[in-house]
């Protein structure tokens, strides 16, 4: 199952609820934050595209600086995606293969569609929330200024983009209840992972 949605919508909160129900969660943010993913050729390509300023003194990627540069324009975002998405997809395939006996595997992936990772999923769920609520969450979570947060938010797709491409959408402006989760799993045909078929 692919789990996606806009930044600050609360995908990780929904993922925790799915994990409590016995689903295996692959946190794509954790995968993409692994410095080893951007070593070698990938790091060289990022530097060529965005400049030496994205490299920290210790030789590793300065993710915040890269994000500010990449998300400033459609061209920058497209460059970033072209360089990083193939590397990320290859890693995700390995992660999924490691859980081949799991009943439900959830890819918690902010850029599920953009990276083409939806092709790895049988079902896709998008988590949406009010823009003002999302802005507050992002600033608190990532320690960003309001302008930095808005830049990231506006670099993402609209609600309709997610709704049109998903098998199910959850509104997490306030919270997602246990009943909401049970209803979603039932609609998607996912038996409770702890139950027998």
Domain ranges of the chain: 2-188
- Write down the pLDDT at residue 110: 86
pLDDT tens-place string over residues 117-154:
999 999 999 999 999 999 999 999 999 999 999 998 98
Q: Is domain 2-188 classified as CATH 3.30.70.3340?
A: no
- Write down the pLDDT at residue 192: 55
pLDDT tens-place string over residues 43-58:
999 999 999 999 999 9
Annotated binding site: 8-13
β-bridge mates for residue 107, sequence order: 2, 26
Annotated binding site for ATP: 8-13
């Amino acid at each position: 199952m692919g789990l996606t949605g806009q930044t600050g919508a609360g995908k990780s909160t929904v993922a925790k609820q799915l994990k409590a129900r016995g689903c295996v969660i692959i946190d794509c943010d954790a995968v993409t934050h692994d410095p080893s993913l951007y070593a070698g050729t990938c790091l060289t390509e990022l530097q060529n595209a965005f400049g030496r300023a994205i490299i920290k003194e210790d030789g590793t990627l300065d993710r915040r600086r890269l994000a500010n540069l990449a998300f400033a324009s459609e061209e920058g975002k497209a460059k970033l995606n072209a360089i990083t998405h193939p590397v990320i997809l290859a890693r995700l395939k390995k992660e999924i293969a490691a859980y081949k006996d799991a009943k439900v595997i959830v890819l918690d992936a902010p850029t599920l569609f953009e990276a083409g990772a939806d092709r790895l999923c049988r079902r896709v769920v998008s988590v949406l929330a009010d823009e003002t609520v999302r802005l507050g969450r992002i600033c608190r979570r990532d320690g960003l200024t309001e302008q930095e947060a808005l830049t990231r938010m506006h670099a993402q797709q609209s609600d309709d983009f997610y709704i049109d491409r998903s098998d199910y959408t959850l509104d997490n402006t306030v919270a997602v209840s246990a009943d909401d989760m049970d209803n979603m799993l039932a609609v998607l045909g996912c038996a409770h992972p702890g139950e027998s078929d």
